[in-house]
């Protein structure tokens, strides 16, 4: 939808049809990013909450980071998508229908509609059945009493069951009595919904927080695997974009900032007749994230320590840039020096070997 908005804003927009089967309300969930002041102003109407302090906590210690240049910002996807839809003007049109099939020749079947496109941009994500993934279930709630420190977002509270994979509770206080609480795992296998719900309930009980109202529940699965080219992309008739193109940060699951930047550049490329030039994630970043994920898979016993070491090695601004994928050499060096060496060296050799084969 972001690409459609960018194309619609051009002086001479190309004839474009957007296929989206669901309404913004049906797609409502929380999207989060580390936002600059400029981004916060641009996203103000879609923002549910923003924090310049956030914590990571385990059984041994609690770390609180403060940033002066970035705010951890949570958006309402429904509000953001609606703003994109409302901005569309002719000849960019929205069709509320699912795509059934896309041929290599650019033929698109969507419901009872049939189109021939000069180029197709496909944002539908691939299957998340295999490989490492981030999966979660969250509750947006109103509490009976105000919580302590609503100005601090809890990115990771690891004081939960770690027997099935890396597991943490994620808490965003929109106010002292309005929270988003998620049970999040990073592993290769998803769990039954009741398992995440029980984890949330246990965390609430330990914190002596009672729910007055459950507003809604959201569930998600984010692939943390590299995306490969589809057969159509190999034929240069379809371009995968967004999460389907590898815009998701492999080590964290964050994607919003990258996708927005990708769509802006892609719209510019389309305007000059170069739709095949698709901005990619930096190869170095993907390479380092592959090593990181390989260590999480091979040494799950180190997972909590690795995330805590990363946060401990950086200040708030550095941590924000690192999570955004825009860390500099010094910040990368700080993180590398903080890591347990042998597990990473071992997986470095494995990734190098697999990339050559």
CATH of the domain at 117: 3.50.50
Answer yes or no: are the C-beta atoms of 162 and 168 closer than 8 Å.
Answer: no
Residue 277 within a domain: no
Residue 22 within a domain: yes
What confidence category does residue 355 fall into, taking pLDDT thresholds of 50, 70 and 90? confident
Answer yes or no: are the C-beta atoms of 265 and 245 closer than 8 Å.
Answer: no
pLDDT at 246 over 80: no
Residue 276 within a domain: no
Percent of the chain predicted with pLDDT > 70: 94
Whether residues 150 and 246 share a domain: the answer is: no
Whether residues 190 and 146 share a domain: the answer is: yes
Residue 294 within a domain: yes
Written as six digits, the tokens of 298 are: 């091979």
Whether residues 48 and 18 share a domain: the answer is: yes
Whether residues 100 and 17 share a domain: the answer is: yes
Per DSSP, 225 falls in state S
What confidence category does residue 224 fall into, taking pLDDT thresholds of 50, 70 and 90? confident
Whether residues 18 and 105 share a domain: the answer is: yes
What is residue 148's three-state secondary structure? coil
Taking CA atoms, 270 is separated from 14, 78, 88, 265, in Å, by 9, 27, 17, 9
Residue with tokens 């910002």: 73
What confidence category does residue 231 fall into, taking pLDDT thresholds of 50, 70 and 90? very low
Answer yes or no: are the C-beta atoms of 243 and 134 closer than 8 Å.
Answer: no
Whether residues 112 and 27 share a domain: the answer is: yes
Answer yes or no: are the C-beta atoms of 101 and 109 closer than 8 Å.
Answer: yes
Whether residues 161 and 205 share a domain: the answer is: yes
pLDDT given for residue 276 in this prediction:
62
Residue 45 within a domain: yes
Residue 109 within a domain: yes
Question: Rounded distance, CA 272 to CA 268, Å?
Answer: 7
Cα end-to-end distance, the chain, whole Å: 37
What confidence category does residue 89 fall into, taking pLDDT thresholds of 50, 70 and 90? very high
pLDDT at 188 over 50: yes
What element of type H or E holds 2? helix 2-8
Residue 171 within a domain: yes
Whether residues 109 and 234 share a domain: the answer is: yes
State the residue range of the domain holding 115: 2-126+230-271
Angle CA 99–104–107, to nearest 5: 45
Whether residues 301 and 154 share a domain: the answer is: no
The count of domains in the chain is 3
Q: Classify burial at 45, counting beta carbons within 10 Å of its beta carbon; exposed 0-12, middle 13-18, buried 19 or more.
A: exposed
pLDDT at 186 over 50: yes
Whether residues 90 and 157 share a domain: the answer is: no
Closest CA to 14 of 109, 80, 88: 88
Whether residues 25 and 120 share a domain: the answer is: yes
Segments in 177-315 forming alpha helices (H): 193-206, 231-234, 256-271, 283-298, 303-313
Q: Which residue has the higher pLDDT, 69 or 354?
A: 69
What confidence category does residue 232 fall into, taking pLDDT thresholds of 50, 70 and 90? very low
Question: Rounded distance, CA 32 to CA 68, Å?
Answer: 18
The alpha-carbon radius of gyration of the chain (Å, integer) is 21
Residue 278 within a domain: no
* CATH number of the structural domain spanning residue 196: 3.30.70.1990
Whether residues 8 and 118 share a domain: the answer is: yes
What element of type H or E holds 353? helix 341-356
pLDDT given for residue 277 in this prediction:
57
Q: For the sheet containing 107-110, what is the strand order?
A: 99-102, 107-110, 113-116
């Amino acid at each position: 939808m972001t690409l459609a908005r960018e194309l619609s804003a051009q002086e001479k927009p190309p004839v474009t049809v957007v296929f989206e089967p669901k309404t913004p309300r049906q797609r409502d969930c929380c999207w989060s990013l580390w936002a600059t002041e400029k981004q916060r102003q641009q996203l103000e109407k879609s923002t549910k909450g923003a924090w310049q302090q956030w914590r990571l906590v385990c059984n041994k210690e609690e770390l609180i980071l403060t940033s002066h240049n970035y705010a951890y910002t949570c958006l309402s996807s429904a509000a953001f998508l609606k703003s994109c839809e409302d901005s569309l003007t002719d000849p960019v049109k929205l069709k509320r229908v699912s795509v059934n099939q896309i041929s290599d020749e650019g033929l698109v079947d969507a419901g009872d509609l049939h189109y021939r496109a000069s180029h197709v941009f496909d944002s539908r994500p691939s299957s998340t059945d295999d490989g490492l993934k981030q999966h979660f279930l969250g509750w947006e709630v109103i509490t009976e009493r105000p919580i302590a420190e609503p100005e601090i977002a809890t990115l990771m509270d690891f004081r939960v069951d770690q027997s099935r994979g890396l597991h943490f509770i994620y808490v965003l206080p929109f106010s002292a009595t309005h929270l988003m609480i998620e049970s999040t795992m990073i592993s290769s296998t998803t769990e039954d919904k009741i398992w995440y719900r029980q984890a949330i309930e246990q965390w609430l009980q330990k914190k002596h927080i009672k729910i007055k109202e459950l507003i809604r529940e959201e569930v998600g699965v984010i692939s943390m695997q590299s995306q490969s080219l589809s057969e159509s992309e190999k034929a240069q008739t379809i371009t995968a974009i967004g999460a389907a193109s590898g815009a998701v940060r492999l080590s964290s699951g964050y994607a919003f900032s990258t996708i927005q930047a990708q769509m802006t550049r892609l719209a510019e490329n389309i305007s000059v007749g170069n739709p095949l030039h698709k901005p990619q994630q930096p190869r170095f970043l993907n390479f380092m994230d592959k090593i990181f994920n390989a260590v999480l898979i091979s040494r799950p016993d180190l997972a909590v320590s690795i995330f805590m070491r990363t946060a401990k090695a950086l200040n708030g601004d550095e941590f924000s840039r690192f999570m955004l994928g825009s860390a500099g050499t010094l910040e990368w060096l700080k993180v590398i020096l903080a890591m347990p060496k042998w597990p990473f060296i071992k997986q470095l050799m494995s990734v190098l070997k697999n990339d050559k084969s």
